[in-house]
Amino acid sequence: MSWRIAIRHRTGYRYGGPVQASYNEARLTPPTVDGQRLLQAALNITPETTPLRYTDYWGTTVDAFDIHVPHTELVVLATSTVETSAGRPVASGISWAELDGRTVRQRFGELLGATRYVPAEPELAEVARSLRGGSTPVEAGLHAAAWTHEALRYEPGATHVHTSSAEARAAGKGVCQDFAHVTLGLMRATGLPARYVSGYLHPDADAAIGVATPGESHAWVEFWAGEWFAVDPTSLAKVGSRHVLLARGRDYADVRPLSGVYSGPAAEQIGVTVEITRLG
């Protein structure tokens, strides 16, 4: 069953004094990909400026912009409408022998190694071996997501945006970003190429048409076992109609919704609001 979803994502910064210049990148435009079609998108920036749009290495739409007038506030409002479809049935995938072959290793080397947010963890080796034993690669990927879902407790505020998978796993709690990072670490230890996905999840499976619902950014994982398979370790909900994809990468560092540098005093206030509306 397909959904039509409208997203309104507003990010605001207020500074202690005039900022003289800033340089920024926004990854807030959903792409048209398998299972998702972009119908409309707009990016409104205050102070007004004209962004340069490009596609990054991972296939994400990026709006790069700089501001060279003194300002005490920066507001970025991204709106979009997408049509999503239900997730595909889980296919059988390929064998471990094929997955362990040189061709796959060369093709997906960047999605198998350690990263800033997903360091190598020897402690996961035993869990990885158990996932491979008696399971196909697809089954192992699904089990990895389920393992993380059981290993972590969802607790907003327990971690921060710079928390690594090792730190979240040691704490035993975190948010969707942490669930995704821990799952990536386990999948890669198992031998599965895996990537971080950022976007949104409509929180209500029975959402009424036209009702704006408070939401937030969400994260899940895709792993490769002959084709790409998507899993949501935070909720274990099937990735489909309620998920809106924004960006993909090795970890959170590759998909940050808004990033940049500026010359001026520290930000006094940071506010982010997301509204998700099912239109049909």
Together in a domain, 110 and 223: yes
DSSP, collapsed to helix, strand or coil, labels residue 206 as: coil
Together in a domain, 19 and 104: no
Report residue 157 as tokens.
């505020």
pLDDT of the residue at 5: 98
Q: Does 90 have pLDDT greater than 80?
A: no
Say which CATH number the domain at 47 has. Answer: 2.60.40.2250
Low-confidence winner among 89-98, 111-120, 182-191, 252-261 (lowest mean pLDDT): 89-98
Mean pLDDT of all residues in 64-91: 92
Together in a domain, 176 and 67: no
Together in a domain, 65 and 120: no
In terms of residue numbers, what domain contains 149? 96-254
Together in a domain, 187 and 126: yes
pLDDT of the residue at 268: 76
- pLDDT category, 41, cuts 50, 70, 90? very high
Together in a domain, 107 and 246: yes
In sequence order, what E strands does 166-211 have? 173-174, 194-201
In sequence order, what E strands does the chain have? 3-19, 21-26, 36-46, 52-55, 61-67, 71-84, 153-154, 173-174, 194-201, 212-215, 217-224, 228-231, 243-249, 258-263, 267-278
Q: Quick one: what percent of the chain has pLDDT higher than 90?
A: 93
Mean pLDDT of all residues in 125-152: 96
Cis upstream peptide for 89 (omega within 30°): no
Q: State pTM to two decimals.
A: 0.95
Say which CATH number the domain at 126 has. Answer: 3.10.620.30
Contact 196, 248 (CB under 8 A): yes
pLDDT of the residue at 130: 95
Mean pLDDT of all residues in 198-215: 95
Together in a domain, 68 and 201: no
Mean pLDDT of all residues in 141-162: 96
pLDDT of the residue at 259: 94
d(CA 16, CA 77): 21
Mean pLDDT of all residues in 75-87: 94
- pLDDT category, 138, cuts 50, 70, 90? very high
Token pair 């389920």: residue = 146
At 117, which helix (H) or strand (E)?
none
Mean pLDDT of all residues in 166-194: 98
Q: Does 92 have pLDDT greater than 90?
A: no
Mean pLDDT of all residues in 204-208: 93
Contact 272, 11 (CB under 8 A): yes
- pLDDT category, 87, cuts 50, 70, 90? confident
What's the mean per-residue pLDDT of the chain?
A: 95
Q: Does 91 have pLDDT greater than 90?
A: no
- pLDDT category, 148, cuts 50, 70, 90? very high
